[in-house]
Amino acid sequence: MKIEFYGAAGCVTGSSHLLKIKDKKILLDCGLYQGKDEKERGNDTFNFNPKDIDYVILSHAHIDHSGRIPLLYKQGFKGNIICTEGTKELCSIMLEDSGHIQEMEIEWLNRKRMRMGQPLIEPLYTAKIAQLSSYLFQGYPYNQWIEIFDGFKVRFRDAGHLLGSSIVEMIITEDEKETKLVFSGDLGNKGIPILNDPTFIDDADYLIMETTYGNKLHENISNNLKELVNIIKSTFKKGGNVVIPSFAVGRTQEVLYALNKYIESDILKNIKVFVDSPLASETTTIYNKFTKYYDKEATTLVESGDNPLEFDGLTFTKSPEESLKINKIKSGAIIISASGMCEAGRIKHHLKHNLWRKESSIVFVGYQAEGTLGRAILNGVKKVKIFGEEIAVNATIYNLQGLSGHADREGLITWLDSFKNKPKAVLLVHGEEESQNSFKELLDNKGYNSFIMKSGDTFIPGSEVKERSEVKEKIMALLDSLKDIDKMDKDLLLAKIKESI
Ligand SMILES: [Zn+2]
Ligand SMILES: [Zn+2]
């Protein structure tokens, strides 16, 4: 057995690790690079031949874990995608939406290219391709062993990070020897609304573990929720709106659940809440369908006849016309819109209409990757460019990271310490450098054998070492040097490749 690390290795987005067992190739996640990672690494080519992949095991539906599945399909993958029922359902809407975004972005770019006399380019994949790839998904319940092929079985455990999110347990039998590999996926934040806390796992020989917040402690969730109420009240008093950039899938439903509580207990009165994201509306319908995944508190509410994702004053806007109408509201509205990192979607319109107003507030409730518009606003820039227009940042900016869907440093270590036996090696992924170094130091001090996995690294269980092949080093260096070359400039590209050989 061998594990090769490609995406979310040395960074947060683009999760993908290639597991080689006997003659089979299994991809753990197939995520899209976003923000800085996308600019540096690009999404259009894989480090392997998609036709050679036999299965994809998908930890959860977030685009940074699933977003390149349609491209994998487009480039020849025809195997099965194994995941939970919830992940399958969420992916059926999320990947199509991602396809729409790709098409729209390329259409916009092509209009510009046409004016400049440049050749047109193709989207990464279309909504149609995404739809077709959804037939490859096979959804399973939690806690059930699934035999994928002779010598390889998997079981999904609730990761408490997103509806249907999972920690993947894998048992590999080679030469009559069993090895247990666990992939943490993204681990949930203890106490977040609706979902259960991450499941504790008994044992693993080897563990691939996320480290998004390996160096940070979140604020207390209930304090953050109280702060949200105060922000809403004070913003409305000033005569502004509260804009919440939020992942359409997961975070939006958690925020709605919290607002439902405050509105039904009269802590917040007479407010208008707009969920301005068609994807968020569809996702809410899926959340309503999968109440079996809910935690105790949410289940009690459902059993008492209350739908915790519905309340007076809540509007899900569908058409662009309805969305435009929100721009006319100057005060008293909570606008929840996607994308969560402000890179695309309707949120950009709401930021354009509210960022420059000192009466309004922008509340971040999720992770902002390096290089995204969200991160720039959070970092305190005074001006941003939205749709080519310069917008001043005068609104008050809040960062409620306690509402994060990810476990913090303490959550991560508590989860790891709960293993009854220490894994032989902990392979760290899905984290920025600072976070990974800090978390590795903690693991070293606690006596764990851990490795930070970078893109291109290989780990061979049994030998307990990570390898970095020279060929890979060369290819990575070559790709690096090609970064600035225009995609269509083939002669220059060929010359560079020849030069490097
Ligand atoms: Zn995630
Ligand atoms: Zn992730």
For 56, 77, 148, the CA distances from 152, given in Å and listed in that order, are: 13, 20, 6
Task: Say how many Å lie between the CA of residue 425 and the centre of ligand 1.
Answer: 23
Task: Say how many Å lie between the CA of residue 114 and the centre of ligand 2.
Answer: 36
The three-class DSSP label of residue 467 is strand
Task: Say how many Å lie between the CA of residue 61 and the centre of ligand 2.
Answer: 9
Q: Are strands 389-392 and 333-337 parallel, antiparallel or unpaired?
A: unpaired
Q: Please tell me the number of the ligand nearest to residue 7's CA.
A: 2
Q: Please tell me the number of the ligand nearest to residue 64's CA.
A: 2
Task: Say how many Å lie between the CA of residue 432 and the centre of ligand 1.
Answer: 15
Task: Say how many Å lie between the CA of residue 280 and the centre of ligand 2.
Answer: 18
Task: Say how many Å lie between the CA of residue 186 and the centre of ligand 1.
Answer: 5
Task: Say how many Å lie between the CA of residue 250 and the centre of ligand 2.
Answer: 12
Q: What is the DSSP letter of 377?
A: H
Q: Which helix (H) or strand (E) holds 280?
A: helix 278-289
Q: Please tell me the number of the ligand nearest to residue 405's CA.
A: 1
Task: Say how many Å lie between the CA of residue 495 and the centre of ligand 1.
Answer: 40
Q: Please tell me the number of the ligand nearest to residue 247's CA.
A: 1
CA gap 164, 92 in Å, rounded: 13
pLDDT of residue 367: 83
Contacts of 195 (CB under 8 A, 6+ apart): 158, 160, 161, 162, 163, 188, 254, 293, 294, 295
Task: Say how many Å lie between the CA of residue 239 and the centre of ligand 2.
Answer: 36
CA gap 201, 178 in Å, rounded: 17
Query: Do residues 277 and 252 lie in contact, with contact meaning Cβ atoms separated by under 8 Å?
Result: yes
Q: Please tell me the number of the ligand nearest to residue 94's CA.
A: 1
Task: Say how many Å lie between the CA of residue 64 and the centre of ligand 2.
Answer: 6
Q: Tokens 């819109």 identify what position?
A: 337
Please state the φ and ψ torsions of residue 281, each to the nearest 5 degrees. -65, -45
Task: Say how many Å lie between the CA of residue 483 and the centre of ligand 2.
Answer: 25
Other C-beta atoms within 10 Å of 240: how many? 21
CA gap 327, 6 in Å, rounded: 42
Per-residue tokens: 251: 């975070």
Query: Do residues 92 and 81 lie in contact, with contact meaning Cβ atoms separated by under 8 Å?
Result: no
Q: Tell me, what amino acid is at 422?
A: K
Task: Say how many Å lie between the CA of residue 67 and the centre of ligand 1.
Answer: 11
Q: What is the DSSP letter of 99?
A: H
Q: Which helix (H) or strand (E) holds 390?
A: strand 389-392
Question: Closest Cα partner for 167 from 198, 126, 204, 135?
Answer: 198
pLDDT of residue 499: 63
Task: Say how many Å lie between the CA of residue 333 and the centre of ligand 2.
Answer: 30
CA gap 321, 316 in Å, rounded: 13
Task: Say how many Å lie between the CA of residue 63 and the centre of ligand 2.
Answer: 8
Query: SS3 string of 310-333?
Result: CCCCEEECCCHHHHHHHCCCCCCE
Task: Say how many Å lie between the CA of residue 388 and the centre of ligand 2.
Answer: 30
Task: Say how many Å lie between the CA of residue 174 and the centre of ligand 2.
Answer: 30
To the question of pTM greater than 0.85 for the whole model, the response is yes
Task: Say how many Å lie between the CA of residue 400 and the centre of ligand 2.
Answer: 18
Q: Consecutive 10-residue runs of the chain (501 residues): their mean pLDDT?
A: 92 94 97 87 92 98 96 97 98 95 91 94 96 97 98 98 97 95 97 95 97 93 93 96 94 94 90 94 96 96 94 94 94 93 91 97 90 94 95 96 90 98 96 95 97 93 71 68 66 66 53
CA gap 397, 137 in Å, rounded: 40
Task: Say how many Å lie between the CA of residue 497 and the centre of ligand 1.
Answer: 36
Q: Please tell me the number of the ligand nearest to residue 404's CA.
A: 1
Task: Say how many Å lie between the CA of residue 161 and the centre of ligand 1.
Answer: 7
pLDDT of residue 68: 97
Task: Say how many Å lie between the CA of residue 162 and the centre of ligand 1.
Answer: 7
Task: Say how many Å lie between the CA of residue 274 and the centre of ligand 2.
Answer: 26
Which residues share a beta bridge with 336? 244, 275
CA gap 360, 81 in Å, rounded: 44
For 4, 134, 287, 316, 387, the CA distances from 283, given in Å and listed in that order, are: 33, 16, 6, 11, 27
Q: Are strands 333-337 and 242-245 parallel, antiparallel or unpaired?
A: parallel
Task: Say how many Å lie between the CA of residue 119 and the centre of ligand 1.
Answer: 36
pLDDT of residue 344: 82
CA gap 201, 377 in Å, rounded: 38
Question: Closest Cα partner for 1 from 173, 191, 130?
Answer: 173
Task: Say how many Å lie between the CA of residue 491 and the centre of ligand 1.
Answer: 40
Task: Say how many Å lie between the CA of residue 99 and the centre of ligand 1.
Answer: 19
Contacts of 429 (CB under 8 A, 6+ apart): 5, 8, 9, 15, 17, 208, 209, 210, 211, 453
Task: Say how many Å lie between the CA of residue 65 and the centre of ligand 1.
Answer: 7
Task: Say how many Å lie between the CA of residue 185 and the centre of ligand 2.
Answer: 7
Q: Please tell me the number of the ligand nearest to residue 430's CA.
A: 2
Task: Say how many Å lie between the CA of residue 166 and the centre of ligand 1.
Answer: 10
Task: Say how many Å lie between the CA of residue 68 and the centre of ligand 2.
Answer: 13
Per-residue tokens: 276: 């301005």
